[in-house]
Structure 1
Amino acid sequence: MNKSNSRFRMRSVVALVAGALAATAAWAVEPFTVRDIRVEGLQRVEPGTIFASLPFQVGDTYNDERGSAAIRALFDLGLFKDVRIDVNGNVLVVIVEERPTIAGVDFAGTKEFDKAALTKALREIGLAEGRPFDKALADRAEQELKRQYISRSLYNAQIITTVTPTERNRVNLTFSVNEGDSARIKEIKIVGNKEFSESTLLGLFDQDSGGWLSWYTKSNQYSRAKLNADLETLRSYYITRGYLEFRVDSTQVAISPDRQDLSVTVNITEGEKFTVAGVKLSGNYLGRDDEFKSLVSIKPGEPYNGEAVAQTTKAFTDYFGTFGYAFARVQARPDVDRTNNTVTMNLVAEPARRVYVRRVSIGGNNRTRDEVVRREFRQFEASWYDGDKIKLSRDRIDRLGYFTEVSVDTQEIPGTPDQVDLTVIVAEKPTGTLQLGAGFSTADKVSITFGVTQENVFGSGNYLGLQVNTSKYNRTISINTTDPYFTKDGISRTFSLYHNSTSPYYTVDGNYRLVSEGGSIRFGVPFSEVDTVFFGVGIERYNFDPGSNIAAYTPQSYRNYFDCSPTPASALNCAEPNKWGIPLTVGWARDDRDSALVPTRGRLQRANLEVGVAGDMQYVRTGYQYQQFFPLNKQYTFAINGEVGYGKAFGSKEYPIFKNFYAGGLGSVRGFEQNSLGPKDVPILGQTEGAAIGGTKKAVFNAELGTPFPGAGNDRTLRLYGFFDVGNVFADHRTIETEAQWEAQQKLRASVGIGISWVSPLGPLRIAYAIPVKQQKEIPDPNNPLIPLVSKDRIQRVQFQIGTAF
């Protein structure tokens, strides 16, 4: 036997590796030419992955150094827990043992976090289904989960990882979590304050030491992110009052031994108070210095205001953006005179380069179609970058109501300094509402109410609504749909169809019934970015059935309008039981409030005009609403609301009673029953007062002061408010009323009170307790002691409703 051949037959290299270091070969190998390479032990990994990682191939010379490099390269793949290289003659055999693959990841005992959020956090560190598993990765996963819980003040969270092997070299991972109790802030102290009291400064913080509503607001749960936000609020408070050199020196957080209580100490240095001596502009202002000076909100002679400086630099940057300078830089450099405690602001501008928008991309819209977002965008591709148009585009997308968050990111294009890409990132929210209810009464028996609305049908941006009520005395079915982009120019189109059958004021078997049905089409035309005018036409028909009961059960207002008179059999015979008409509508709306749910600034205006131009009902009906919100500071908001309405029939026609205005209750004058104010009908059989029938004129005014709810800190979803309401509805002529009744109906009603507003999971909820301060007292009728001449107002001190704005 050849000595050399014998040596090659006996020769092998066995390498064991721990961590990222490759072991050296057990026996030294003399270099030789590789004739073949075989791989053993593979289950899921492709052989090509092995061959691509080896630093040699067939025909190359093999030695110990290359063997160690091969083992190191294979371990670096992270796919194997053991690697060996055997030498059989001049054939290399690579033997691997694959790491198990993660078959599934599950969590037990998690309450604070949604499992999807934890799964996402682990995926970011490399632990997810289908990926190789090792113990080091599991340890990292435990640390990441603990970090997530610490961010929620759950310092006592304990995590146990269970690894369960399954078939085909796979494992299931289960993280069992004992969350424990969250650490609470026991005390917050501010050290170093001289000009302002500690209670004043702590009142700026969203975090606090807790109150009786901390279970809801969670304001006493420590969060580093929230603390940083509070420190920025504190800094802004000082900077806006002239303390230019204010600083937070340190923040100390001490945790109790049982990890349940935290103490936070904030050390600050206030510095001196500075006054603005002047403002000057430096740099390149594109030859538009006067235009930029008009944007300066920094006022010489007043204390330095960091907010005014930030507003000015932002206004400058935005104005540069309108000329295509997306990367303009504006620096506010203060020249401080510490002798006189004054500061001169030097605004230095560098417009950089003018850029085009190459592409606009949409992200985050899993259900909503791209075109629904893109058609609201006013910044076009291949045109100059315009900051105003981009901001307008973001606001228009946000006002769609389909998304909880909307942001626009600007990315530079490498190698192309004069172009940028814009990415619109949205976070979708549910846009459908389903209502289902059932009731039972001796009159109605079983009734079902069903409603479904979808503001973004199939992601198309279209609106669809369906309402059904099967009550015996109030049957309704209606459907309406809106296409907000009926034309490419943004003209909307709305179709509505309805059928109602009601007995509005009294319900006994054989009583009267009013059936109304109709349809309409309406178009909304955007005359500007903030103004929309609506035009519509409809057709409607009202049929009055006096019923088979005695005439005394039918309201007098309906008898008059449908020209009904009693028959000898005490029934009613109506000369005009059917009324039909064609109403034309025109409306205008403008809404620039900062929020539809919890507004703090801005105004809302609405105006509408309805004209009956043909048929039995010829009239004009118009209304106007004005709302405005004034932010007094971070905690307090003052708001006003005013509504007026007027209706009148044409010529000798009588004004349709169904078109009357109503007032009273939430959304109107609180403290009075809903829709109970204004003219009353003649009492029908068995009653001492008539039902409210509304009026042809309406005037309502509301004033509110919103404050933080006691114990809720600065949480804006739960607020306390005080209010003052005044208003009424009025008749335009005297029909059946006496002089006393007429005078009573023309007087304003007023109330004051307090309430709670809460943005609940079901929608905005408002509860009000009102005390009427101006109401109508009962006036007895000297000729009929059983029925008063003038009924007293119907008082309802406590009222609540979901979805009411005022």
Structure 2
Amino acid sequence: MNRSLLSALVASLFAVPAWAFEPFAVKDIRVEGIQRTEAGTVFSYLPVKVGDMLTEEKSAQSIKALFATGFFKDVRIEVENDVMVVVVQERPAIARIDFVGMKEFEKDAIIKALKDTGIGEGRIFDRALLDKAEQELKRQYLSRGKYAANITTTVTPLERNRVGINFNIDEGEAAKIKQINIVGNNAFTEKTLLGLFELTTPGWITWYTKNDQYSRQKLAADLEKLKSFYMNQGFLEFAVESTQVSISPNKQDVFITLNINEGERYQVSSIKLAGDFSVPEEELKKLVTVRPGDIFSRERLNNSTKAIGERLGKEGYAFANVNAVPEVDKDKRQVAFTIFVDAGKRVYVRRINVTGNTRTRDEVVRREVRQMEGGWYDAERITNSKERIDRLGYFTDVAVETPAVPGTADQVDVNLNVTEKPTGNLMLGLGTSSTDRLILSGAITQDNFMGSGNNVGIQVNSAKSQRTYVLSYTNPYFTIDGVSQGFDIYHRTVDTSSTELAYYKSASTGAGFRFGFPIGEKESLGIGLGIDTTSITVDGSSPKRYRDFVGYPGSRSDSNLTLPLTLSWTSDGKDSFFFPTKGTYQRAGIEVALPGGDLQYYRATYQLQHFFPLSQRFTLMLNGELGYANAYGSTDEVPFYKNFYAGGVNSVRGYKASSLGPVDYSTGDNERLGGTRRVVANAELLWALPGMEKSVRMGWFVDAGQVFGKDQDGKNQNFDLGDLRYSTGLSAAWISPIGPLKFSFGVPLNKKTGDKSELFQFQLGTTF
């Protein structure tokens, strides 16, 4: 067979071909050497077709095009009787990728990352890409503090021109920070400065936080914290001059040394406003918290400029520019600031656009928006709108953008993009608590029924001490002004035999309707009216007061009809429903059994709760609750099953649930009677676990509380704060995949004779 070699090397693309030939018309094209690649694939990349004239230039272009695919490691073009013969040698394909000794990373995650770089099963093998992937994997180990990690890559040829890639990894031990030194600090001790850092030497919790492992990103964040600390203490010229990170020869210990220059501490000599205010200057001056004579604080200065910008934003100046320019007097160690204000043009909102709501009606979103179309831009109203939409609970994400309208200088659109989540739930759950042991629960709820924003629900709860069945409906916008309307139908049974309460059984069936009236962005009033029939059963072990109430032994049960009227006021300023860090919550309510029923009584409650952010991680929670009940009219006393109780995981931890207050000693079991007056106070230092801020929160608490009422002889107890019970301990709250979990380890501080304590208490699942 007589063939002419046109090209054999890639270099021939850029040089004069060694084998010259006369151009000819291609009668046919044949591909040789392919094993996995289809001939049609080769033809699709060739710039030459049957019938074309094959020249030296086109042959060079053909070789270049086939090399560019990356499928072949050698390409030749030969000629045989006016037939163009393409001879190729394919690159091997990757048949499998294995990892040996890898524990630090998930295998699936690494395989996905390798595939993104071009290394994956079924892909063409490329040694350069493999080397790049190996280096990247090494860098990932270095970022985890695994400086001694060793990676050996083996490529094994397999049949049918394939290869297997094996990563043999010796991870070694993670290097720990042995020492962090700060050089140049005079104003503050090294201990104080290191307390600002996230990076630290090994401690009791660093096995979880990994903060004892060096990270360039964490160090950069710590240096910024250090700079902010000094700048807030007046050190205007503070600088980190150098950072040295070294590792021990055995690659187990990391040493970090920071050289800093504190500079001098500066006082603020003067501060003034200049520019175009567009609002009264005196009003803006009140927003400036930095005063002449104060030690310079960058944080306070930034907060002042931010407050001025937000104030201008409320007047429609969406693009206001506020900058503080310093004038430094190094000799006097003073700095003067001029805050330049440029309000810019007043902006109004042209249109509000809602996107992403495939099921929820537009009106459900728009009725929560406080910014009006055609009105002046108001940054506070837009922020409030986003928060209100988020609190609906219908969306996993709410994003707000305010782009300028093209071709205008004084108009913006407000774009609300929501990501919907399923709002219908069918739940069958198993819960438990330290009181009820086992709780079977189920619920069918639709928070956003047919996209209308209405709530429809059926709830079932089957605890040993209490069973509840509820059908409820709520329309949050019964009127356009936000008045809500709803109703509830329920059946509830109580059996106290498994609790600390004196024995009785009750069965209540009732219904009611309710309305809610918004009186502010965070405040509302509620009113409800219902009808309830309750039957009570007692026996010889029940307290005399209980037996007298139902006429025992003349009858074993008694049925009463009541007409409860409920009034409530709620103010919710917390920044989060589950894990608040700041804000105040208040609720006051009263339930009155109206004349016309068999019983007349009232129960009033009040709760005040406040969250104080102590730092980025720690929050102080203070909570106080009061309850008072009394009878009126023809009723002699408050029905015993309407008494208040205290003790347990939701009030005074460390004492058994409902175990505080008056006691019935006649049965020998020291059973609790409850009372008509209740006081509970809680102080708790809360902190989130690093990396689990949205799901787990710990706390150290001090609780106090007591219930006062009538003793077993029917005598009223005096309200004496000296009778309060106290406890302390640790708590935890976890939003687990199976429901909210609360537990505590509480120790009574002033336990007295007859008190029942419980060290460990928990509650899993939500009861209703």
TM-superposition CA deviations, 1:715-768 (whole Å, max 9, x none): 996656352x4432233xx686365xx346655533555422345464564534
Distance 1:430 1:147, change over 3 A: farther
Matches for 1:786-797 after TM superposition, within 5 Å: 792-796=753-757
SS in 1 for 2:217: helix
Tell me the residue number matched to 1:608: 589
Alignment partner of 1:750 out of 710, 717, 724 = 724
**Alignment match, 2:708:** 730
Which residue of structure 2 aligns with residue 658 of structure 1? Answer: 641
Q: Distance in 1 between matches of 2:394 and 2:277?
A: 39
Amino acid of the residue matched to residue 593 of structure 1?
K
Is 1:619 the counterpart of 2:601 in the alignment? Answer: yes
1:502 to 489, 494, 497: 494
Paired residue secondary structure (1:312): helix
Alignment match, 1:699: 679
Partner of 2:201: 209
Aligned to 2:700: 721
**Given residue 761 of structure 2, which amino acid in structure 1 is its aligned partner?**
F
Q: In the alignment, which of 436, 440, 457 is matched to residue 449 of structure 1?
A: 440
User: Structure 1 676/58 Cα, relative in aligned 2: closer, same or farther at 3 Å?
Assistant: same
Q: Which residue of 2 is the match for residue 436 of structure 1? A: 430
Distance in 1 of aligned mates of 2:65 and 2:304: 57
Alpha-carbon deviation of 1:208?
A: 1.2
In structure 1, C-alpha distance between the alignment counterparts of 2:585 and 2:37, rounded to whole Å? 63
Residue matched to 1:223? 215
1:670–1:751 contact (8 Å) kept in structure 2: no
Which has the higher mean CA deviation after the structures are superposed, 748-757 or 600-609? 748-757
In the superposition, the TM-score normalised over structure 2's length comes to: 0.80
> Counterpart of 1:436 in structure 2: which amino acid?
L
TM-score by length of 1: 0.77
1:134 aligns with 2:134: no
What is residue 565 of structure 1 aligned with on the other side? 552
CA contact (8 A) 1:677 1:793 kept: no
Q: Which amino acid aligns with 2:200?
A: D
One of 263, 270, 277 as aligned partner of 1:278: 270
Q: Which runs of 5+ in 1 are unaligned?
A: 1-5, 778-791
1:670–1:694 CA distance, 2 compared to 1 (3 A):
same
Amino acid corresponding to residue 242 of structure 1 in structure 2: G
Q: 1:579: how far off?
A: 2.0
Q: Residue type of the partner of 2:646?
A: A
1:13 aligns to what?
6
Match of 2:146 in 1: 154
**Kindly tell me: are residues 470 and 427 of structure 1, through their superposed partners in 2, closer, same or farther at Cα, counting changes over 3 Å?**
closer
Q: How far apart are the structure 2 equivalents of 1:624 and 1:132?
A: 71
Aligned to 2:630, which of 632, 636, 648?
Answer: 648
Equivalenced residue count is 750
What is the match of residue 787 of structure 1?
A: none
CA contact (8 A) 2:146 2:173 kept: yes
Partner of 1:786: none
How far 1:243 moved relative to its partner? 0.7
The equivalent of 2:559 in structure 1 is 578
2:228 equivalent to 1:236:
yes
CA distance in 2, matches of 1:606, 1:409: 35
Give, in whole Å, the separation in 2 of the partners of 1:74 and 1:559. 98
Deviation at 1:648, TM superposition (A): 3.1
In structure 2, relative to structure 1, the CA distance for the partners of 1:381 and 1:707 (3 Å cut) is closer
**1-side partners of 2:707 and 2:250: how far apart?**
64
Q: Secondary structure at the match of 1:196?
A: coil
* Distance in 1 separating the partners of 2:383 and 2:104: 36
40-49 or 322-331, which moves further after superposition? 40-49
Give the match's secondary structure for 2:658: coil
- The CA distance in 2 between the partners of 1:175 and 1:483, in whole Å, is 60
- 1:259-278 mapped onto 2 (5 Å cutoff): 259-278=251-270
Residues 307, 804 of structure 1: alpha-carbon distance in 2 compared, 3 angstrom cutoff: farther
Relative to structure 1, is the Cα distance of residues 697 and 752 closer, same or farther in structure 2, using a 3 angstrom cutoff? closer
Equivalent residues of 2:543, 2:712 under 8 A apart: no
Match of 1:675 in 2: 658
| Distance in 1, Cα, partners of 2:474 & 2:210 | 41
Indicate if the aligned counterparts of 1:187 and 1:264 stay in contact, CA closer than 8 A: yes
Give the distance between the partners of 2:461 and 2:395, measured in 1 at CA. Answer: 28
Offset at residue 272 of structure 1 (A): 0.6
Show the counterpart of 1:630.
612
| Alpha-carbon spacing, 1:142–1:218, altered in 2? closer, same or farther (3 Å) | same
1:555 aligns with 543
Please give the alpha-carbon distance, in whole angstroms, between the structure 2 residues aligned to 1:251 and 1:362.
48
Structure 2: gaps spanning 5 or more residues: none
User: Quick one: distance in 2 between partners of 1:459 and 1:158?
Assistant: 58
Within the candidate set 273, 292, 300, 2:284 is matched to 292
CA contact (8 A) 2:402 2:412 kept: no
CA contact (8 A) 2:590 2:603 kept: yes
Q: Secondary structure at the match of 1:181?
A: coil
Q: What's the CA shift for 1:303?
A: 0.7
**Counterpart Cα distance in 1 of 2:696 and 2:256:** 26
Q: Secondary structure of the equivalent of 2:663? A: coil
- SS for the counterpart of 1:185 is strand
The Cα of 1:416 is off from its aligned counterpart by 8.2
User: Offset at 1:582?
Assistant: 3.8
Do the aligned residues in 2 keep the contact of 1:16 with 1:23 (CA within 8 Å)? no
Q: Is the 8 A contact 2:423 2:447 kept in 1?
A: no
Superposed CA offset, 1:518-568 (max 9, x none): 44555555443322444444443322234xxxx522333332333x1325x
Does structure 2 retain, via aligned residues, the 8 Å contact 1:55–1:70? yes
User: Over the residues paired in the alignment, what is the CA RMSD in angstroms?
Assistant: 5.0
What SS does the corresponding residue of 1:678 show, helix, strand or coil? coil
User: Identity percentage over the alignment?
Assistant: 40
Give the structure 2 partner of residue 189 of structure 1.
181
Moved more, 537-546 or 165-174: 165-174
Task: Kindly provide the CA deviation profile for residues 77-129 of structure 1, in whole angstroms up to 9, marking residues without a partner as x.
Answer: 44555544445666656566666677887766655445564455445535567
Change (3 A) 1:427 1:537: same
Report if aligned partners of 1:217, 1:715 keep a CA contact under 8 Å in 2.
no
